[in-house]
Amino acid sequence: MWKVKPPIVFPKETRYRPILEGLVPPDPMSQFHLKRRSPEDEFPDLCRNSTWMGRILTPAMYCRQFDRCTHSGVIFDDVIRPGLEEPGDWSATLSVGCAAGDAQSYILFCDFFDRVIEAFHKHKVTSQTPESDLNYDNLKGGDNLDRSYAISCEVSVIRAVEDFCFPTHCSRGERRQLLSLARRALQRLQEELPGRLLSVEDLNQEQRTELKLDSPSAFQLRTGVARDWPDARAVWVSEDGGLVVWINIEDHLRLVCTRQDANITETFKNIYSHLQKVRRRNAAAGIKNRFSSVKSASSDLLKLQDVYRDLRHPFIWKQQLGWVTSSPADVGTGLRVKVKVKLQHLPGHRRLQDVLKRLRISMEKTESPVLYCVSNMATFGVSEVMLTQLVVDGVKLLITMETRLEGGGDIDDLVPAQK
């Protein structure tokens, strides 16, 4: 019985077949000497798997991917391993259950990845370039959240670096080279935005707690993300503490801006202005302008993407997917907007999950029983400003519902229509 209705035909498979066949080594199994049996014998048990991978993968699809291998040695079993190691829970939100080993995985296994991306982000993968809008003037209401409920906010952006495998597949040498590259890039920015690079190996427990740096989970160790921990892992912190860059922690790079006043507009403005000079470089390289709407930023802010391009290792971008990272859950914009909200009555309400689904946001518990972290679900299919606006509008509605419940009222009339 199909859990997700399959398409009658596979148009993406047909469209990309010439490219796929050209990328497949003549005999990948003899190249790697993998002793495997037939695809039918190797097909995993997905009966209790509660991930999008488990819902979408079929024996026929597995068979089509079985003998494919990227140039860096990623095979399809490597891609689906995260979903097999952590099959999920039927009562929780479905995770993607897979991870790309390198950027080429999204091309070679496109008929699988495209369907996972479409299912998770609720948006079709087409031949058109994903929409982008970094103009913070288009963001409405992000600077006036009710401070009695909205405690703090965080905006983070994930980027992967060209010519390097992703964390689940990269070697020690690659990881150390990524760290060396980050050190060179950040040193070039020392005058514009001073900061310090801290090796995770040298941090004591108090410093790790201050930076909110947790030890790797068992899942990260099993999937290889935390392999050789803490070798070649580092954190760069700006002098004013407004910007943190995580290096080789879960992704190649993760830029994080945090504010304690929950001013999402200012946080969004700060982190994306770091990337604004890429417009001129892209135009010079003949690449379509993906940042035509970003406003000018002050010259003292970080221009990390420019520096990486100068070092001949630009961030990975694909025409149909946008910014590419190891997880299909983060492709497109790589943007994650989080707001900590104080809620006491709403979390136990019977309509909460329906409300969150309609608002296209998620809400997770924190270390405090009354604080919840609200964030965007999708990163693909809509622009950066639109994703941020979804969180802003969602937080405002949740606060309105909370105040209604505090007064003993009902919130059924506040439940939004399906977006």
Residue 367 assigned as binding residue: yes
Return d(Cα 416, Cα 413) in angstroms, integer. 8
Residue (of 337, 330, 339, 393) closest to 121 by Cα position: 330
Confidence of residue 26 (pLDDT cuts 50, 70, 90): low
Residue 337 assigned as binding residue: yes
Residue 366 assigned as binding residue: yes
Residue 339 assigned as binding residue: yes
129-159 pLDDT, tens digit each? 888 888 888 999 999 999 999 999 999 999 9
Look at residue 12 and tell me whether its pLDDT is greater than 50. yes
Q: Which pLDDT score is estimated for 405?
A: 94
Confidence of residue 24 (pLDDT cuts 50, 70, 90): low
Residue (of 45, 252, 258) closest to 161 by Cα position: 252
Look at residue 315 and tell me whether its pLDDT is greater than 60. yes
Q: Which pLDDT score is estimated for 242?
A: 82
Residue 12 assigned as binding residue: no
Residue 336 assigned as binding residue: yes
Burial 50-78, CB ≥16 within 10 A → b, else e: bbbbbbbbbeebbebbbebbbebebbbeb
C-alpha torsion sign, points 182, 73, 46, 21: positive
Confidence of residue 291 (pLDDT cuts 50, 70, 90): very low
247-256 pLDDT, tens digit each? 999 999 999 9
Cα dist from 81 to 34, 45, 53, 98, whole Å: 16, 12, 10, 7
Confidence of residue 272 (pLDDT cuts 50, 70, 90): confident
Look at residue 279 and tell me whether its pLDDT is greater than 60. no
Taking a C-beta distance cutoff of 8 angstroms, is the pair 307, 132 a contact? no
Strand 335-342: give its sheet, edge to edge.
Answer: 195-199, 234-238, 243-247, 253-259, 150-159, 335-342, 371-376, 361-365
HSE toward the beta carbon, residue 252, CA cutoff 13 A: 34
Residue 364 assigned as binding residue: yes
Return d(Cα 254, Cα 370) in angstroms, integer. 28
Burial 109-145, CB ≥16 within 10 A → b, else e: bbbbbbbbbbbbbeeebeeeebbbbbbbeebeebbeb
Q: Which pLDDT score is estimated for 92?
A: 75
Residue 155 assigned as binding residue: yes
Residue 152 assigned as binding residue: yes
Query: What is the share, in percent, of the chain residues with pLDDT greater than 70?
Result: 84
Most confident by average pLDDT, 4-8, 63-67, 241-245, 302-306: 63-67
Cα dist from 312 to 181, 188, 286, whole Å: 10, 14, 16
